[in-house]
Amino acid sequence: MNLEQAPSFCLPRLDDGSEVCLEKYQGKAVLLSFWVTWCPACQEDLPQKEVFARSIDDSSFAFFTVNVTGREADPSKVPEFIRHHGYQFPVLLDDGRRTYDSFQIPSVPYSILIDPEGCIVGRYDEHTPFIRIVEDIGRILG
């Protein structure tokens, strides 16, 4: 099976502005979850991702949410949204829609699972039960 290589990116973290580059996570599985503040399905999805983020072992796995700033009505409201909900998962800020578009994402919320070799091994929309994503992560971490 031919696996698609994940597009490379470097995005700033919302909390401290430090840059996160996908290539630095080679050798780890990575889950990216794309979202926006105004999306009802995202608002249902993010609390599950928060519980998940607090329970993972980050020695072999990395998890990031990506706010698609180019789809936000007002990107300046994102920090307050995160604070209001008490989310502690890492939030990356997309460069408009550049990363969202480079992964060919059709909608939000949407998650991408990348294996330790940097290949996309899972694409999940709002209809995918979160347990399936967790099972797929378990499978690639073996």
> H or E element: which one contains 47?
helix 40-55
* Residue 101, φ and ψ in degrees, nearest 5: -70, -35
The band of 1, judged by pLDDT with boundaries at 50, 70 and 90, is: low
pLDDT at 4: 93
Rounded to two decimals, what is the model's pTM?
A: 0.95
User: Can you list the domains of the chain with their CATH numbers?
Assistant: 10-141 (3.40.30.10)
pLDDT by residue (tens digit) across 69-113? Answer: 999 999 999 999 999 999 999 999 999 999 999 999 999 999 999
Mean pLDDT of 3-20: 96
> H or E element: which one contains 53?
helix 40-55
pLDDT by residue (tens digit) across 54-76? Answer: 998 878 999 999 999 999 999 99
Q: What share of the chain is helix, strand, coil (3-state, %, to 5)?
A: 35, 25, 40
